[in-house]
Amino acid sequence: MYDPSIYDNLKIVLEGAVYDRDLDERWVVLGREDLVDLAQMARTFRIRFHVKHAPAVVATLTLGSELQDFAAEWLEQTTVQAGCYLEVSFLTTVTDVQACAAIEQQLQGIWGGRPIIRQHLSFPYPQKSAMLQNDVSLHFARKIDESNIADIDSVLDHVSLSLDSLNRMHPV
């Protein structure tokens, strides 16, 4: 019988929790990807969604695991911590660069300063637009495993608070 990996177990719980919020009509799931990279022997799960009546800000949750994680788990290595990485990102727009500082401050307040927050601004050249696309990503400095399954609802609550905050800040 197949023994699911840490990645498989976390993916099922994360995906189910997001779809529960979609079923409750709090969020709208826009798409999901379940990728296997055969060149690097890595797996990535990505799910995108937004608040039901506020489509301006899109959240993406990315769960990933690499060869060394699978090897450490299956070979029961004690020198490498088996687990997955989790990344949370938000796609929004801003009218000027100064808005990025306010976004970072809001997210730091919601997430308690735990994740590293990166923001990447872009615009479609040669279009002249007052709006800049802002890809905000939150990186956590540690891997997660099955012992963190109970934390997934808390993470999704923080994502919900972040979406609400970013939607309030979103330029009309």
Tell me if 145 is assigned to some domain.
yes
Tell me if 18 is assigned to some domain.
yes
- Statement: the pTM of the whole predicted model exceeds 0.85: yes
Tens of pLDDT, residue by residue over 80-98, are 788 999 999 999 999 988 9
Q: Quote the pLDDT of residue 4.
A: 86
Q: Quote the pLDDT of residue 130.
A: 78
Residue 71: pLDDT band (50, 70, 90) is: confident
Tell me if 150 is assigned to some domain.
yes
85-94 and 54-65: which strand pairing?
antiparallel
Residue 1 has pLDDT above 60, yes or no: no
Coil, helix or strand for 111?
A: helix
Section 49-66 average pLDDT: 96
Round to whole Å and give the CA distance between 49 and 15.
11
Tell me if 54 is assigned to some domain.
yes
Tens of pLDDT, residue by residue over 109-152, are 999 988 999 999 998 888 777 789 999 999 998 999 999 999 99
Q: Give the contacts of 95 (CB within 8 A, at least 6 positions apart).
A: 130, 131, 132, 171
The number of distinct structural domains making up the chain is 1
| Phi/psi-derived region of residue 11, left when phi > 0, alpha when psi is between -120 and 50, beta in every other case | alpha
Residue 171: pLDDT band (50, 70, 90) is: low
Tell me if 1 is assigned to some domain.
no
State which residues form the domain around 20: 6-169
Tell me if 106 is assigned to some domain.
yes
Round to whole Å and give the CA distance between 166 and 56.
9
Tell me if 122 is assigned to some domain.
yes
Round to whole Å and give the CA distance between 17 and 43.
20
Tell me if 14 is assigned to some domain.
yes
